């Protein structure tokens, strides 16, 4: 029996080192084929695939994993500046110490999405939640990367929503959680902001009920999204009044993301709620995960109240950014965020289920 356990442990270690040390895999796009993913609704994604990228080296104890899920309409390629072995303006995960894993969320056009699914394309694709995203990512760690424990989960915006879901769904699997401009439960204002964008997309004549042949431009939805992301001061500083037309043209320009993908991800945020009828205090205090909660005071995309209430319930360290960039917190307050996140990830870990 002892020999069998030793062999199993060696296999786990060698698999992890193979992933960590293969040069061409450092930060490159990878796809995990998971077969069927069953969603909370009971529906299934038939050919379920999750995109991911890895950075750094998995240590011998397999205890230095930091995961970072993508934000709304983001992809893992957008997360590249957050990882690195050397200090940089945007880095949050020091890959000279940690093994970083960036995840593509459902609906980003890389992982299973309405835009890329061949058996369930477009409007036939099932609606997912942030918790469905996390369950699939857990399978990548456990089944593909052979990771049995995670040091920390860090995420911005929709990535922050997923961090709260990680803590609730897999509290014994992660030690630290850092939601940045994320929320455990979408407020009515948060939901309204997503509903307006959804309505703007669905009411566009080019959208055609999701059955478009050519990608719609969606000028109105793009304008609304830009207006909600920051404060007026931040937007007013982007261009002089005399260049309004040029500035507006950039805002209205077609986005990278497929229109159905945008709708499906926005709907996932509409249902964001890791509390499921329980109080913030009951849920937050029941978890052994330690939190650093970072919010933006002027955030119009994710109002900070629920995240701050969570932090208060568990006595978590908090940082409230007052930068003019608001939800785009890394655009004007990256240094403050970076300092707190890197210090938090480097501190000794202590876990307690008793609050």
The domain that holds 132 is classified in CATH as: 3.40.50.1820
Is 151 among the catalytic positions?
no
pLDDT single digits (tens) 32-75: 999 999 999 999 999 999 999 999 999 988 889 999 999 999 99
| Residue 167: per-residue pLDDT | 98
Average pLDDT of the chain is 92
Q: Is 255 a member of any domain? A: no
227 within some domain: no
Contacts of 5 (CB under 8 A, 6+ apart): none
Q: 273 — phi, psi (to 5°)?
A: -170, 95
Say if residue 18's pLDDT is above 60.
no
The span from the CA of 177 to the CA of 164, in Å, is 7
pLDDT score, position 41: 97
The whole-number average pLDDT for the span 126-140 is 98
CA dihedral in degrees (181, 185, 188, 191; nearest 10)?
A: 70
Instruction: Tell me the C-alpha to C-alpha distance, in Å, between residue 200 and each of 97, 298, 326.
Output: 44, 24, 23
Q: How far is CA 196 from CA 185, 201, 276, in A?
A: 18, 9, 24
pLDDT of residue 348: 83
Does residue 158 register a pLDDT over 60? yes
Q: Which domain does 34 fall in, by range?
A: 2-189+269-346
Q: Tell whether 86 is covered by a domain.
A: yes
Domain assignment of residue 157, yes or no: yes
Would residue 93 count as lying in a domain?
yes
In a domain, 109, yes or no: yes
Question: Is residue 26 very low, low, confident or very high in pLDDT (cuts 50, 70, 90)?
Answer: confident
State yes or no: is 299 an active-site residue: yes
Instruction: Look up 157 and say whether it is catalytic.
Output: yes
> 104, 261, 299, 333: which one is catalytic?
299
Q: What is the pLDDT of residues 97-120, one digit of tens each?
A: 999 999 999 999 999 999 999 999
Residue 352 confidence class, pLDDT cut points 50, 70, 90: low
> Cα angle vertex 219, ends 217, 222, to 5°?
105
* Residue whose token pair is 């289920």: 353
Report residue 91 as tokens.
């880095």
Q: Is the dihedral of CA 233, 238, 241, 244 positive or negative?
A: negative
Residue 3 in this model has a pLDDT that exceeds 90: no
pLDDT on residue 351? 58
Mean pLDDT of 113-130: 98
φ/ψ of 77, rounded to 5, equals -60, -30
Is residue 316's pLDDT more than 60?
yes
How far apart, in whole angstroms, are the C-alpha atoms of residue 332 and residue 345? 22
Exposure on the CB side of residue 12, measured as CA atoms within 13 A: 18
Handedness of CA 54, 60, 62, 64 (dihedral sign): negative
* H-state helical runs in the chain: 2-21, 130-139, 158-169, 188-202, 219-229, 232-236, 244-252, 259-270, 280-285, 305-314, 334-346
149, part of any domain: yes
Three-class DSSP category at 166? helix
Whether residue 20 is predicted with pLDDT greater than 50 in this model: the reply is no
- Beta-carbon contacts of 251 under 8 Å, excluding residues fewer than 6 positions away, are 222, 223, 226
Would you say residue 196 lies in a domain? Answer: no
Q: Is the pLDDT of residue 29 over 70?
A: yes
* Number of structural domains the chain divides into: 1
Q: Which of 111, 112, 113, 157 is catalytic?
A: 157
**Class of residue 283 by CB neighbours under 10 A (exposed 0-12, middle 13-18, buried 19+):** buried
Summarize pLDDT for 183-219 with one digit per residue, the tens: 999 999 999 999 999 999 999 999 999 999 999 999 9
316 conformational bin, left if phi > 0, alpha if psi -120 to 50, beta if neither: beta
User: What percentage of the chain carries pLDDT values higher than 90?
Assistant: 89
The pLDDT assigned to 10 comes to 39
């Amino acid at each position: 029996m002892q020999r069998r356990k030793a062999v199993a442990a060696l296999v786990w270690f060698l698999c992890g080192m193979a992933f960590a040390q293969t040069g061409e895999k450092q930060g490159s796009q990878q796809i995990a084929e998971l077969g069927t993913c069953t969603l909370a609704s009971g529906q299934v994604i038939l050919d379920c695939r999750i995109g991911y990228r890895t950075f750094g080296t998995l240590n011998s104890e397999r205890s230095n994993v930091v995961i970072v899920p993508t934000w709304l309409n983001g992809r893992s390629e957008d997360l590249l500046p957050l990882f690195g072995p050397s200090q940089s303006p945007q880095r949050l995960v020091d890959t000279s110490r940690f093994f970083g894993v960036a995840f593509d969320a459902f609906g980003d056009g890389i992982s299973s999405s309405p835009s890329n699914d061949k058996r369930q394309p477009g409007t036939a694709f099932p609606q997912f939640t942030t918790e469905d995203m996390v369950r699939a990512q857990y399978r990548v760690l456990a089944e593909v990367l052979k990771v049995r424990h995670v040091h920390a989960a860090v995420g911005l915006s929709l990535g922050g929503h997923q961090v709260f879901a990680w803590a609730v769904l897999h509290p014994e699997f992660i030690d630290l959680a850092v939601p940045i401009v994320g929320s455990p439960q979408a407020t009515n204002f948060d939901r309204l902001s997503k509903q307006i964008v959804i309505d703007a997309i669905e009411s566009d004549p080019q959208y055609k009920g999701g059955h478009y042949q050519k990608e719609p431009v969606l000028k109105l939805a793009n304008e609304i999204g830009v207006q909600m992301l920051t404060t007026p001061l931040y937007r007013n500083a982007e261009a002089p009044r005399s260049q309004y037309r040029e500035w507006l043209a950039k805002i209205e320009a077609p986005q990278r993301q497929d229109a159905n993908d945008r709708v499906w991800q926005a709907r996932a945020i509409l249902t964001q709620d890791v509390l499921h009828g329980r109080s913030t205090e009951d849920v937050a205090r029941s978890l052994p995960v330690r939190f650093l909660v970072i919010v933006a005071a002027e955030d119009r995309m994710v109002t900070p109240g629920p995240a701050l209430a969570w932090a208060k319930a568990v006595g978590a360290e908090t940082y409230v950014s007052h930068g003019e960039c608001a939800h785009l917190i890394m655009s004007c307050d990256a240094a403050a965020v970076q300092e707190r996140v890197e210090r938090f990830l480097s501190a000794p870990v202590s876990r307690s289920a008793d609050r």
